[in-house]
Amino acid sequence: MTPKARELFDRALAEHGPVEVARRCGYKNHTIVSLIAAGKYEARTDRFGEKVLTAFGVIRCPHLGIDIPRTDCAGHALRSVPTSSPEKLRLWVACQACPHKPKEAA
């Protein structure tokens, strides 16, 4: 897990508790969260760290100029081409060339 993911994980754990952190990261059970928090999880935590960044991280959107949750970023970038709103189309086009664009839905 990257230092940024660990920082977000520790903050989320303090604010929300292990059950909520697990739920937001897509786990039905909070065991992995508790093991990582206690330093007893022996497997790699890279994928878990990515889930923490997605669930609790924010990024600066270059097009909007504001911080948005990574889940919103993915929602804008990975949706089908919007045809009902010129504003949404401009955002979608900007997202396609954005360095923050995820490769697939989280």
Instruction: List b or e across 39-76, with b for residues whose CB sees 16 or more CB atoms inside 10 angstroms.
Output: eebeeebeebbbbbbbbbbeeebeeeeeebebbebbeb
Note whether 2 and 52 are same-domain residues: yes
Q: Are residues 52 and 63 in the same domain?
A: no
Cα-Cα end-to-end distance for the chain: 17
Residues 62 and 52 in one domain: no
SS (H, E, C) 31-68: HHHHHHHHCCCCCCCHHHHHHHHHHHCEEECCCCCCEE
**For residue range 24-60, what is the model confidence (pLDDT) as tens digits?**
999 999 999 999 999 999 999 999 999 998 889 888 9
Tokens of 52: 């923490």
In terms of domains, do 5 and 30 share one? yes
Mean model confidence pLDDT for the chain: 92
Give the range of the structural domain holding residue 49, as residue numbers without chain letter.
Answer: 1-56
Same domain, 51 and 5: yes
Q: 103: which 2 tokens?
A: 């490769």
What pTM value is reported for the model?
0.63
